[in-house]
């Protein structure tokens, strides 16, 4: 059998030629390719600034520093997210306050409202699996409680709410270019997107040792810079992003049609949202059995994420609350193969195997 991977990053001659041209330029860090990509990312997302950096984790940390987070500041964050979302809050000196998931597996604004205290300064909605958070509800909460909003868009590049792209709603946003993401690099990478001049300027300093210029350091930063080779490849792929997201949506429709009628909860697009299906995540109490069945047939699956952040050993000292919806869904979620590079026939093979598992 031919194995079907969980994700398949694109590599072709146009990408190779762009990278080779960047190599020949002999400018390898924060050069012209990076500057052009930053301008193109800002235009595509609908923000004033883009600041490239080494990862989305770095982007989150820089934004939190730029927003002035200090020890004792509480930040509302979903527990059901990749751990780096929470990790960045901890590194910035803040205290994560965990919020339960809603019916779409994203941050529940109603639950978040119950967790606001006088020490709460901000909220980090995570657009998970490609599905936008209920942004108007989050913005309403932020206005009522006097909080800033930092969007985690690591899994949702190109997603939108009422036609407006995610990453343009909050004070700032963090994006990821990890190889499996909707806009995939050939390694780690990330970006800060913001309308805020001060946040952008601070993040540019923080990513380059806090420099004002080559010799003067205004603050202690770190080496979180970006590569010209990566930028050259991403400029090619950014031009294709909307088409690649359309392909993901078409494959999601193919899954939905093929898996209809099974005892399996399928992902769906919430009202007002444009889902870009970074991951195709289904739910079943028989998750582990189904994963083993598919694995035996060469079909790779994933778990995103089996251990919620509020149950991670590293954060036991926070004495986190019970989050019933999150704790239930992490026992049942399973990620099926999905990328813009998957073929219809591969999705059909996965569908046939899932149907066989359920005896359909």
CATH number at residue 158: 3.40.640.10
Residue 310: predicted pLDDT: 98
| Residues 215-271 pLDDT 10s | 999 999 999 999 999 999 999 999 999 999 999 999 999 999 999 999 999 999 999
Q: Is residue 85 part of a domain?
A: yes
Alpha helices in 46-154 (DSSP H): 56-66, 83-91, 109-113, 135-145
Q: Which residues of the chain have pLDDT under 70?
A: 360
Nearest to 186 by CA among 336, 16, 53, 360: 16
Is there a domain that residue 71 lies in?
yes
Q: Which of 176, 208, 235 is the endpoint of a domain? A: 235
Residue written as tokens 């926070």?
318
**Do 214 and 336 belong to one domain?**
no
| Number of neighbouring beta carbons within 10 Å of residue 254 | 16
Tell me how many domains the chain contains.
Answer: 2
Kindly compute the dihedral angle of the four CA atoms of residues 112, 117, 121, 126, in this order, to the nearest 10 degrees.
-20
Domain with residue 304: its CATH number is 3.90.1150.10
Q: Residue 109 has what pLDDT?
A: 98
Residue 276 belongs to some domain of the structure: yes
User: Does one domain contain both 228 and 275?
Assistant: no
With respect to residue 8, please indicate whether it lies within any of the assigned structural domains. no
**Is residue 24 domain-shared with residue 125, that is, in the same domain?**
yes
User: Does some domain include residue 267?
Assistant: yes
Residue 5 belongs to some domain of the structure: no
**Per-residue pLDDT, 345:** 98
CA–CA separation, 338 vs 300, rounded Å? 10
pLDDT at 41: 98
Is residue 306 within 8 A of residue 330, CB to CB? The reply is yes
Q: Are residues 201 and 308 in the same domain?
A: no
N- to C-terminal Cα distance for the chain? 22
> What domain range includes position 276?
240-357
Do 191 and 264 share a structural domain?
no
Do 246 and 214 lie in one domain? The reply is no
Domain assignment present for residue 6? The answer is no
In a domain, 4, yes or no: no
pLDDT at 1: 72
Q: Are residues 204 and 271 in the same domain?
A: no
Pair (303, 343) in one structural domain? yes
The pTM of the full predicted model, rounded to 2 decimals, is 0.97
And the tokens for 172? Answer: 């700032």
Residue that is last in its domain, among 235, 259, 284: 235
**Whether 288 and 219 share a structural domain:** no
Give yes or no for a contact between 192 and 63, defined as CB atoms under 8 angstroms apart. yes
Query: Which tokens go with 38?
Result: 């930053």
Together in a domain, 211 and 291: no
Domain boundary among 235, 264, 298: 235
Do 194 and 85 reside in the same domain of the chain?
Answer: yes
Quick one: 204 and 294 in the same domain? Answer: no
CA distances from 105 to 130, 195, 353 (A): 11, 28, 25
């Amino acid at each position: 059998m031919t194995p079907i991977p969980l994700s398949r990053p694109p590599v072709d001659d146009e990408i190779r030629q762009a990278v080779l041209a960047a190599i020949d330029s002999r400018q390898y860090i924060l050069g012209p390719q990076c500057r052009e990509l930053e301008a193109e990312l800002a235009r595509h997302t609908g923000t004033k600034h883009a600041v490239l950096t080494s990862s989305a984790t770095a982007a989150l940390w820089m934004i939190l520093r730029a927003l002035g987070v200090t020890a004792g500041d509480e930040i509302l964050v979903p527990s059901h997210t990749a751990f780096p979302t929470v990790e960045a809050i901890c590194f910035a000196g803040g205290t994560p306050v965990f919020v339960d998931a809603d019916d779409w597996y994203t941050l529940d604004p109603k639950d978040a409202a119950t967790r606001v205290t006088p020490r709460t300064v901000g909220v980090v909605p995570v657009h998970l699996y490609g599905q936008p958070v209920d942004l108007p509800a989050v913005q309403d909460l932020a206005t009522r409680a006097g909080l800033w909003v930092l969007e985690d868009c690591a899994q949702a590049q190109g997603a939108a709410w009422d036609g407006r792209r995610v990453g343009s709603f909050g004070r700032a946003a963090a994006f990821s270019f990890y190889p499996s993401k909707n806009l995939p690099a050939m390694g780690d990478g990330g970006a800060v997107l913001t309308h805020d001049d001060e946040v952008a300027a601070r993040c540019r300093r923080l990513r380059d040792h806090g420099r004002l210029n080559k010799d003067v350091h205004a603050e202690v930063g770190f080496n979180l810079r970006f590569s010209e080779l990566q930028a050259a490849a991403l400029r090619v792929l950014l031009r294709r992003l909307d088409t690649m997201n359309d392909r993901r949506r078409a494959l999601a429709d193919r899954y939905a049609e093929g898996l209809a009628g099974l005892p399996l909860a399928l992902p769906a697009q919430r009202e007002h949202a444009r889902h870009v299906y970074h991951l195709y995540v289904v739910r079943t109490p028989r998750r582990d059995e189904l994963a083993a069945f598919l694995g035996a047939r060469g079909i790779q699956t994933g778990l995103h994420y089996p251990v919620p952040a509020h149950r991670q050993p590293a954060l036991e000292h926070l004495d986190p609350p019970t989050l019933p919806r999150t704790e239930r869904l992490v026992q049942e979620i399973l990620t099926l193969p999905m990328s813009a590079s998957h073929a219809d026939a591969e999705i059909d093979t996965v569908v046939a195997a899932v149907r066989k598992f359920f005896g359909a």
